[in-house]
Every structure is written in structure tokens, then in C-alpha cells.
Amino acid sequence: MAATTTIHYDMMLTATEASTGFFACIPAPDPGLDTALAWLRKRPMDTFLYRYLLDQMAACTPAQLESIWREAPPEATAIRALLVEAKLSGLMELIERDGAAPADSPLPLMRLECRQ
């Protein structure tokens, strides 16, 4: 059996709304995008890592996301799902930026978010 890397997480305050704090588990130290993607391939059910990568991909350019997609093998379903979710999360901004719909028009797009 191959040796596994232990991932240590820090619980960080990410937002405060109506006197309620929201936290996220962040890998510590920051592994960087490539290392975190490699970890996700070995741990596709690690929701802390998945959420961390989703937040990291929000800062990626479309070219970077396309590169990650092309380099991910078809069996890397967690990475492909992550990329699809990242793309859908940024779709509203892209549509508005490209002028396809005014910013105040209702579009049939929802971003579901669960806060515990």
C-alpha cells in the first residue's frame, strides 16, 4: 500500500454576517494549486480540499482553467467536477461582462451554497 500524505488544516474565519462567523478549513501551509489538485486526485471525497480548490480557482484566468481541464485525465472526475462548478460559479459575471444580459435582469442561474 502506498504511503499517504497527511493534510493538516487550519480553521480560518472567512466572513461575518449578522454577528455570525463563517469558517473554512484551509490546508496549512498553503500547498499551492498544483499540489492541491494532486491531493484531490487521491482524495476525491475530501470536502475541505474541494472547497479550498474552488476558492482558489475563482482567482484563475479562463486560460488557466482550460489548461487544468486539458491536463486532467478523464478518470479525474473530482477535478473535472471542480472545474465545472468553478465555471458555473463565474458564469453570471461572464454573461454580464460580455453584455449578453444587463446586470439587473433575472437569469435562470442559481448558485447553491450550504453554510453550517
Going by pLDDT thresholds of 50, 70 and 90, the confidence category of residue 116 is very low
pLDDT digits (tens, 9 = 90+) for 72-100: 887 888 888 888 887 776 655 655 565 55
**Bridge partners of residue 15, in order along the sequence:** 22
| Structural domain boundaries in the chain | 31-97
pTM over 0.85: no
**Could you give the residue ranges of the DSSP H alpha helices within the chain?**
33-42, 47-57, 62-71, 77-89, 91-97
Q: Is the dihedral of CA 50, 54, 55, 60 positive or negative?
A: positive
pLDDT digits (tens, 9 = 90+) for 17-59: 888 888 889 998 989 888 888 888 888 888 898 889 888 887 7
